[in-house]
């Protein structure tokens, strides 16, 4: 019952009732990515994603992002994407977590060439 109420009244718990009905009646599932996010398209070539967990746009891998924004026509699950050996795997945005980038973590601690003047 609680999950049903979350679907009706909130967008951050997967999908709203409008998206649910649109997906049910008009959506055609075209693929699922490694994170289990589901990608849909309708007859007017509108594209959308239903997230597996938290709704966070940075969880969409680059190849699916290109498909969602009509940069490529082919569905990424049907096309093989090759990566260069220097490319890293896709990660979601880590801002606000303990895994966020901290430049001071990698900066060597050196003593200043001067001492501050204090009265």
Please report, to the nearest 10 degrees, the dihedral formed by the alpha carbons of residues 92, 97, 98, 101 taken in order.
60
For range 40-65, the mean pLDDT: 89
pLDDT band at 90 (very low <50, low <70, confident <90, very high): confident
Residue at 73 is within a domain: yes
Within-domain flag for 47: yes
In a domain? residue 67:
yes
Percent of the chain with pLDDT over 90: 26
In whole angstroms, what is the distance from residue 24 CA to residue 2 CA? 21
Say if 39 falls within a structural domain. Answer: yes
pLDDT at 69: 95
Distance of CA 80 to the CA centre of its chain: 20
Number of structural domains, the chain?
Answer: 1
61 within a domain of the structure (yes/no): yes
pLDDT per position as a tens digit, 11-27 = 666 677 788 888 889 99
- Show the domain range for 29: 25-80
Model confidence at 36: pLDDT above 80: yes
Query: Does residue 55 sit within a domain?
Result: yes
Q: pLDDT tens, 72-87?
A: 998 987 777 777 889 8
Instruction: Identify whether 72 is part of a domain.
Output: yes
Q: At what angle do helices 17-26 and 2-9 cross, to 10 degrees?
A: 90
Q: Where does residue 36 fall: left (phi above 0), alpha (psi -120 to 50 degrees), or beta otherwise?
A: left
Nearest residue to 46 via CA among 15, 76, 67: 67
In a domain, 3, yes or no: no
pTM for this prediction: 0.68
């Amino acid at each position: 019952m609680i999950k049903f109420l979350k679907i009706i009244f909130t967008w951050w718990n997967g999908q709203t009732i409008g998206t649910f009905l649109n997906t049910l009646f008009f959506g055609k599932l075209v693929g699922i990515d490694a994170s289990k996010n589901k990608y849909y398209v309708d007859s007017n070539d509108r594209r959308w994603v239903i997230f597996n967990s938290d709704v966070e746009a940075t969880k969409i891998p680059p190849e699916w992002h290109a498909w969602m924004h009509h940069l490529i026509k082919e569905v990424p699950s049907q096309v093989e994407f090759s990566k260069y050996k220097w490319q890293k795997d896709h990660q979601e945005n880590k801002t606000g977590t303990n895994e966020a980038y901290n430049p001071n973590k990698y900066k060597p601690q050196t003593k200043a060439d001067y001492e501050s003047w204090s009265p």
